[in-house]
Amino acid sequence: MSEDTRQIEESVEAWARARLDDLAAEAAEVASQFYVGAAQERAQRPRDEWGRLGVRVRPVRAVRAAPGAFSIEWFTRRWVNRAGSRARTFTTYLRRGKGDRYSRSALAGVAQPWELALADALEERFAEIRRLARDVSRVRMVFRQHAKLERMITEGCVQRIRSDASTEPDVALGMVCPEEQAGSGLRWGKHGNAEANPGVARDTALGRRP
């Protein structure tokens, strides 16, 4: 793999992680708006209208999850023995489905009317954040696949030349992998060792692009 590709891969990884961190922070800020609005609503309503809806932004901890991946999830919370010493809380996460946002019907089934109005409005921004995060992850994945392909091709080329050098040294003499010819100025000698490619060195000395 060329040095340019390696550097770009590192830059893409750094950009993707930073962008996902920024999007997660923005999602957390939007989530806080829900709780601020919920506190204001509950302050002027009887307890039976307080509702049980909540939203959470959390890292995806699956084994194969990409660094920086996060989820934005709505849930309901139910308390058992709330006034006792053995109070317990049960959390149930809502199903979003295949789209980028929770449907109004999914929220309406568990939310108070005021919760539904607040959550449905915030879901507009949450959906945009999910789309952006998915697109960032797609860019990173595509470039990872490209870099992997370059490595495989380069390694396969080197192995073929080494194999030819061990069995037919005259045939292998002077063979050059395309990537090496373009960037490193190396070719393979009779014994499978890298040596200077005089053609590339000459072009470089003359100021030509290899």
What are 61-70's pLDDT values in tens digits? Answer: 888 888 899 9
Confidence of residue 209 (pLDDT cuts 50, 70, 90): very low
Residue 23, C-beta contacts closer than 8 angstroms, at least 6 positions apart: 70, 129, 132, 133, 136
The verdict on pTM exceeding 0.85 is: no
59-68, 81-90, 109-118, 173-182: range with lowest mean pLDDT: 173-182
Please report, rounded to a whole number, the percentage of residues in the chain having pLDDT higher than 70: 70
The CA distances from residue 22 to 109, 139, 191, in Å, are 32, 16, 52
Please report, rounded to a whole number, the percentage of residues in the chain having pLDDT higher than 90: 51
Tokens of 74: 């709505």
pLDDT at 134: 95
Confidence of residue 52 (pLDDT cuts 50, 70, 90): very high
Does residue 172 or residue 30 have the better pLDDT? Answer: 30
pLDDT tens digits along 174-191: 444 554 444 444 444 444
Q: Among 142, 127, 148, 125, which residue's Cα sits nearest to residue 66? A: 142
CA-CA distance, 174 to 189, in Å (whole number)?
Answer: 6
187 sits in which H/E element: strand 186-188
